[in-house]
Amino acid sequence: MSAPRSVVKVVRGTKQFDGAGVRLCRSIGSGALRNLDPFLMLDEIKLPADQATAGFPSHPHRGFETCSIMLTGAMEHRDSYGNHGVIRDGGVQWMTAGRGIIHSEMPKVTTGMLHGFQLWINLPAKDKMVKPRYQDLQAADIPVVEGAGHSVRVMAGELEGARGPLTLRNPGTLLDVRLEAGAEWSADIDPAWNGFAYHLFVWGNDGATVTAKAAPSAPLKFLMAFGKPIGEPIVQYGPFVMNSELEIQQAFADYQSGALQNPNDDVWAAEE
C-alpha cells in the first residue's frame, strides 16, 4: 500500500470581484497561496444567475491554460479566432491561451444558480507560444467511475481504468468527486505532483495515496486536481503569465498593437 499524503495547508478563499464586477471566491492566486505549481489561480463563482449577467467581457490571455468547470448554469464563450461555444450543467472547457487570445465568457442563463470554477494552469516555457486551442466537453462526454459510496467524474488523467477526455500539455489529473454520507474513498497520485482538493486543502508530497471520508450524516463533494510541477520562473501581470519581465512587456505590446485581436499565423514563429 502506498504511503498516505498529508494535508499541509488549508486556505480560506477571499471574496473578490472580476470581469464586469462579478463576485467570486479566490483561493489559489490569493495572498494566502500565490500559486501551487503548475496551478496559478482557482476561482469559484456561486451566485444567482441574475447577479452575474455582466459576465466577463473581452479580455486577453497569454502563456497559460484555463479550465472552466460549469456545475450548474451555462456560460458562452467567444474569441478572437472566431471560436464560439456554450458549456452547460456539468460541462468543462479547457482553453490553451498559448501565444495569445482575446475572449469573453458570458452567462447564458438569467434564472437559477450559476455555479462553477475556473482554474489557471501554467505552461512550460517551450509551450507558452503555441497556437491557442479549445477543448469543450459536455457532461455526457466525461466518464464516471462508480464504487461503494462514491462517484467520480474523470475530466483529465486516469482513475481505475477510466481516462479523462481532456488532453493536457503538462501531465495532470482533474476529478469531480462525490461521496455518500459515511463513505470513504482514496486514490494513488504520483507523489511528486502538487495537488489540492477544494474547499482548499493542499496535499503534501510525502506519499501517493489521497483519502477523503464523508461525515456520517452528510454527503461530500469536492474538486480535486494534481499536476506535475514545471519548476520555472513565474512572472505574472494580470492576464499574462510568462517567464521574464521582458516577455510580459512584449505581451502588452502585442496586445496594444492588435496582434491578439487579429491573429495572423504567418507572423508567429511558434512550435505547435
Q: Annotated binding residue at 61? A: yes
Phi then psi for residue 49, to 5 deg, are -60, -30
Rounded to whole angstroms, the Cα distance separating 104 from 98 reads: 16
Q: Annotated binding residue at 115? A: no
HEC assignment per residue over 115-140:
EEEEEEEECCHHHCCCCCEEEEECHH
Rounded to whole angstroms, the Cα distance separating 183 from 214 reads: 5
Q: Annotated binding residue at 84? A: no
Upper half-sphere CA count for residue 170 (Cβ side, 13 Å): 27
Dihedral sign for Cα atoms in the order 233, 236, 239, 240: negative
Q: Annotated binding residue at 247? A: no
Cβ neighbours around 89 below 10 Å, total: 15
Q: Considering only CA atoms, give the Rg of the chain.
A: 19
E runs forming strands in 7-111: 7-10, 14-18, 22-26, 39-48, 56-61, 64-72, 75-79, 84-87, 92-96, 101-107
Helix (H) or strand (E) holding 201, with range, is: strand 201-203
Sequence ranges of the binding site: 59, 61, 103, 105
Sequence ranges of the binding site for Fe cation: 59, 61, 103, 105
